[in-house]
Amino acid sequence: MSKIKEIIEDTGAFDCVECGKCTSLCPVAKRNPNFAPRLIVVKAQEGMEEEIKADKGIWSCITCEICNDMCPYKVDFSGFIQRMRGEAMEYGNKPICSQAGAVHTMERMTGMGQKQKRLAWLKDDLKVREKGDVFYFTGCVYQLGILYEDRAPELKQIPANMVKILNAAGIEPVVSDKEVCCGHDLLWSGDEESFEKLMRQNIKTIQETGAKTVIFACAEGFRTFDIDYKEFFGDLGFEVKHISEYLMDLVNQGKLQLSGNGSKVTYHDSCRLGRHEGIYDEPRDLIKATGVDLVEMASNREKAICCGVNAFVNCGEVSKMMQVDRMLEAKETGAETMLTFCPKCVIHYNCLLSSEKKPPEIEGLHIKVKEATNFIAENLKGGGEAN
Amino acid sequence: MTDFSPQIVAFCCNWCSYAGADLAGVSRFQYPPTARIIRIMCSGRLEPQFVLRAFELGADGVLVAGCHLGECHYISGNERAKQKVAKTQELLDVLGVDSRRLRLEWISASEGIKFAETMDEFTKQLIELGPSPLMGGA
């Protein structure tokens, strides 16, 4: 049986009734008339393998899962795209990566057996352990903060701020410099082999520390562990939690106290945390717990507009249009800051906001896009000063 | 490790350093045959990815060479190269690759001798540092 048939079976693409609901809701199809999720599935069903393997359209999908959410027959379209990309790569249908693929190379380089200095952010006043119950998986935010220092330097502060928040709640997390990248971008750019290699290293590292819970500040890392690692590896032997859930529990138990300055903010649901994982309430509750005025944008929760780029493979005109639309929605709310838990969203929106030639629609726009972990750390009761 | 011969990827700008390398050649200056030279139009064309990919594929060191500051053929391309190299060095350190393995030099078209000396010095330094940690070295 051909691999494509297998993919069609596994992702339920066989059930597609060609209703076209996915295409009508797809944010890419709306802006790029040459792209249609429905057509990609239909081509695969009709056995037009060669065509689909050469189709650049599979790289245009931003895997935001609006289609999955709305499909009446529950076709796993993003899963279909994820696996088709692996197939396409084998046939030389390669994506055009942002920054010439620096992010992907950097991620592969983390797992080449050298001794990393991954904990370069760790300062003396932060309390961490080598073994314990709670493992904090930092991911590559620090590295991304270096690579994208021109647009999102705040990413470098996330790991230290995260440990600071946990310390304030009396928790000393385990961190490890043996950790490697989660492999999210490699998986979504069709490099399953490197993904699996990194996955095995990570699971081994975490299991060796004896951690029972692994927490993530990054929405993509969380999704990758929670969905992809479980699919590729099976039972992980530990629980995975996003910090919005984890910190909200601590707030409810009274262990973590937050206090803010009452500014007006809005929250952007990243696709990984929202539609992929279904976490909508906890981030909002957590942000509200700081005492800020949280206002909603016109499209929110499962209808949120995506940042327009997936795994750094498809940044282009469509991405920019989506970012502009999102920024205009944020402007409508009158908020000063747009918060999100996804570091990649921060990079992509700031790419638009910091560009020298801005689209005329957003000229003079004053909204800031900020990572929510850093925001929480700034609003800790008692230790209000951020790192 | 006396028999270790490092592999260097050298990105040289078209207007100064590539011509400098050429001059080193026609002047018959002796330098170790450790570098594979790649010509780029301007040192500012360098992307962090070029460096990362070179290390991923097994380079022991990467040299970036461009016109002296203020003498760039494209006015300020080398200023950009300087920024890009600085952040790539920071990234390499975090990734566990000694940032000294990435070197930035300003070599003009008339400085054939500087090119030869740079290659000599960089090769010696890399022999001291040993093979790349990504390829199983220390």
Residue B96, token pair as written in the block? 């566990």
Q: Which CATH number fits domain B8-135: 3.30.460, 3.40.50, 3.30.70, 2.60.220?
A: 3.40.50
B37 close contact with A: CB closer than 8 A:
no
Q: Which of B47, B48, B133 has the CB atom closest to A115's CB atom?
A: B133
Per-residue confidence (pLDDT) for residue B9, from 0 to 100: 97
pLDDT at residue number B138: 60
Confidence at residue A49, expressed as pLDDT on a 0 to 100 scale:
77
Q: Could you tell me which residues are beta bridge partners of residue A214?
A: A135, A240
The third-level CATH classification (topology) of the domain covering A255-378 is Rossmann fold (3.40.50)
Encode chain A (387 residues) as per-residue pLDDT tens digits. Answer: 578 888 888 999 888 888 989 999 999 999 999 899 888 888 888 888 788 778 888 899 999 999 998 899 999 999 999 998 998 888 888 898 999 999 999 999 999 999 999 999 999 999 999 999 999 999 999 999 999 999 999 999 999 999 999 999 999 999 999 999 999 999 999 999 999 999 999 999 999 999 999 999 999 999 999 999 999 999 999 999 999 999 999 999 999 999 877 889 999 999 999 999 999 999 999 999 999 999 999 999 989 999 999 999 989 899 999 999 999 999 999 999 999 999 999 999 999 999 888 889 888 888 999 999 999 999 998 654 444
Chain A interface includes B48 (CB < 8 A): yes
Task: Determine, for residues B134 and A112 on separate chains, whether the beta-carbon distance falls below 8 Å.
Answer: yes
- Where does CATH 1.10.1060.10 sit in chain A? 3-90
> Residue A102: its chain B contacts at CB < 8 A?
47-49, 52
Distance, in Å, from the CA atom of A356 to the CA atom of A178, rounded to the nearest integer, reads 39
Using alpha carbons, list the distances in angstroms from residue A224 to A85, A234, A239, A309, B121. Answer: 17, 13, 13, 17, 45
CB-nearest to B134 from A106, A109, A120 is A109
Helix/strand/coil (H/E/C) assignment for every residue in A221-257 = HHHHHHHHHHHHHCCCCCEEEEHHHHHHHHHHCCCCC
CA distance A181 to chain B (A): 11
Q: pLDDT, tens digit, for every residue of B18-53?
A: 999 999 999 999 999 999 999 999 999 999 999 999
Between B112-129 and B17-26, two packed helices, what is the crossing angle to 10 degrees? Answer: 100
Which residue in the block uniquely carries the two structure tokens 């690579």? Answer: A147
Closest by CA position to B125, among listed B109, B105, B107: B105
Query: What CATH number is given for A98-250 in this structure?
Result: 3.40.50
Contact by Cβ (8 Å): A63, A223: no
Nearest CB neighbour to A100, from listed B47, B94, B97 = B47
Q: Cβ of B93 under 8 Å from any chain A Cβ?
A: yes
| CATH of region A3-90 | 1.10.1060.10
User: Which residues of A are less than 8 Å from B50 in CB distance?
Assistant: 100
CATH 3.40.50 residue ranges for chain A: 98-250, 255-378
Q: What per-residue confidence (pLDDT) applies to A337?
A: 94
**Chain A / chain B CB contacts < 8 angstroms:** 63
Any CB–CB contact under 8 A between B58 and chain A? no
pTM score, two decimals?
0.93
Q: What is the mean pLDDT of each run of 10 residues along chain B (138 residues)?
A: 86 97 96 96 96 96 97 95 96 96 97 96 96 85
ipTM score of complex: 0.92
pLDDT value of position A2: 75
